[in-house]
Chains A and B, each alone.
Chain A
Amino acid sequence: MHSHVQAQGTSFEMIVALLLIAMVSLYPFAAIRTNRKYKEWPVYRYVFWVTGVFSIGVALTGPLAEFAHNNFKGHMVTHLLIGMLAPLLFVFATPMTLLLRTLKVTTARKVTRVLKSRLLQFLTNPVTATVLNIGGLYVLYTTDLYMLMHQSLVLYGLIHLHVFLAGYLFTLSIIYVDVTPHRYSYMYRASVLILAIAGHKILSKYIYANPPNGVPRTDAEAGSMLMYYGGDLIELAIIIFFCYQWYKSTAPRFTNSLYKT
């Protein structure tokens, strides 16, 4: 453990902090500015956004980040925050919708053209998103990557960026609340969601039995159970919202009160 690179107090921590400050100030700025022209931006969306930024901040800077560097359990907490909780909060904060209403119409059109592109259709397919998300975790924990990550700041940054982006991509590929040009059926998304949850659970238990290189057995066991049950909680939130949307979309056209009268 002596070869660990310290991320604390370095330029890495500064860059993350600056990025997060930019994120947390640009969002309300855009929302308030566009309130004059459009429907008022709901308060709960600000809350989702700020909480999301906060969870990333807690995970990547300060004492928790330092703890996570030396302890696998701490590492798992940061991954739950960056890869699952923050993405879920960001999806509900609908940043794409906000971006489109902030930009000039001509620029916004260019953005939607990108969103409609083949590449994004491919990326936002739940199967692609799952492979990037869960597959990435398999690569991280079943190869030497986990050990190497703590020896290189660049690798550390890139991996955490991937964990966040893949988590965000996965969440928005299942839950449609933001701008979603490419849509897939509920049944398809439900099947992929179940497989993704299964993949997460299988990997957690695999880590329990086969600790990544450089991780002591007891740490791996505790971290694995945290990944398993912590994942359960956030997955439950995704499932509930997903089913709620499904339930709403299948509402009968004629209400029963109409039948009865």
Chain B
Amino acid sequence: MEKNQGSYSFRNLGSGLLFGMGLVAFIDEAVFHQILGWHHFYDKSTTAVGLFSDGLFHAFSWFATVASLFLLADLRRRNSLWIKRWINGVFLGAGFFQLYDGLVHHKLLELHQIRYHVDILPYDIVWNGVAVIILLVGVFLYMQTQKSKRAAKEGR
């Protein structure tokens, strides 16, 4: 572990986190809205709260994608990029957003469903199952990087 990495571990995590959120929102838009056409731009059951949350979700992820890449450049500029910690952030951010989209947007607020005119249950299980797995990988990586951070501190 290089010496700058430890002092910028939070920024490494944060940049990855933002990128992960942006990545999921981008895949959601590109694959499920545009290519597959499963998601709908607007669903008749959409509530006002759902509309609000959806707008904020996309505005934030749009900004996060760009900001995370500039943060990445910043870490490189400071010789403090810690790639494992960054990827750790990506998994946490992606898993969290995927789960938020799957549970809050699709189920709680009924913004839109994953796909229409099909039995939705298997889709929901796969969607949220994938989210939980990504999130767990993120947690696992977090524990690992925390450990090597502590080890490096003690070694100094």
Taken together as a complex, chains A and B put the C-alpha atoms of A196 and B60 apart, in Å, by 10
The prevalent SS among residues of A at the interface is: helix
Q: Are A256 and B79 in contact (CB under 8 A)?
A: yes
Within 8 A of B (CB), among A181-235: 190, 193-202, 205-206, 208-209, 225, 228, 232, 235
Bound Cα distance from A193 to B54, whole angstroms: 16
Say yes or no: is B58 at the interface (Cβ < 8 Å to chain A).
Answer: yes
Q: Contact between B51 and A246 (Cβ–Cβ < 8 Å)?
A: no
A252, B62: Cβ atoms closer than 8 Å: no
Q: Residues of A contacting B74 with CB < 8 Å?
A: 247, 250
> Does B67 sit at the interface, judged by CB under 8 A?
yes
Q: Which residues of A contact B60 (CB under 8 A)?
A: 194, 198
Q: A139 within 8 Å of B by Cβ?
A: no
A206 touches B77 (CB 8 A): no
Q: Are B63 and A190 in contact (CB under 8 A)?
A: yes
Q: Are A251 and B77 in contact (CB under 8 A)?
A: yes
Map CB proximity to A onto B43-62 as digits: 1 under 8 Å, 0 otherwise.
01010000110111011101
Question: What total of chain B residues lie within 8 Å of the partner, measured CB to CB?
Answer: 22
**Docked pose: A244 CA to B54 CA in angstroms:** 26
Inter-subunit contact B63/A239 (CB<8 Å) = yes
A256 with B78, Cβ < 8 A, contacts A209-B42, A239-B66 known: yes
Asked if A201 and B55 sit within 8 Å, CB to CB, the answer is: yes
Q: Is the CB of A208 within 8 A of B70?
A: no
Assembly CA distance A194 to B65 (angstroms): 12
**Contact call A239/B51, Cβ cutoff below 8 A:** no
Q: When each residue 87-107 of chain B gets 1 if its CB lies under 8 Å from chain A and 0 otherwise, what string results?
A: 000000000000000000000
Query: B67 contacts A243, CB within 8 Å?
Result: yes
User: Does A114 reach chain B (CB closer than 8 Å)?
Assistant: no
Contact with A along B72-91 (1 / 0, CB 8 A): 01100111000000000000
A197→B70 contact, CB < 8 A: no
Q: Which residues of B contact A228 (CB under 8 A)?
A: 41
Q: Which of A200, A206, A251 contacts B51 (CB 8 A)?
A: A206
A177 proximal to B (CB < 8 A): no
Chain A hits for B78, CB < 8 A = 252, 256
Question: A243–B51 contact, CB under 8 A?
Answer: no
Q: Determine whether A236 belongs to the interface, using a CB cutoff of 8 Å to chain B.
A: yes
- A240 interface residue (CB < 8 Å to B): yes
Q: Which of B41, B51, B55 has the most CB of A within 10 A?
A: B55
A sample of 20 inter-chain contacts (CB < 8 A) reads A193-B63, A194-B59, A195-B56, A196-B59, A197-B58, A197-B59, A197-B63, A198-B55, A198-B59, A202-B52, A202-B55, A205-B41, A205-B46, A205-B54, A232-B62, A239-B62, A240-B66, A243-B67, A252-B78, A256-B78
Top 7 closest pairs, chain A to chain B, by CB: A202-B55, A197-B59, A198-B59, A201-B55, A198-B55, A243-B70, A198-B56
Binding site for A on B (CB under 8 A): 41-42, 44, 46, 51-52, 54-56, 58-60, 62-63, 66-67, 70, 73-74, 77-79
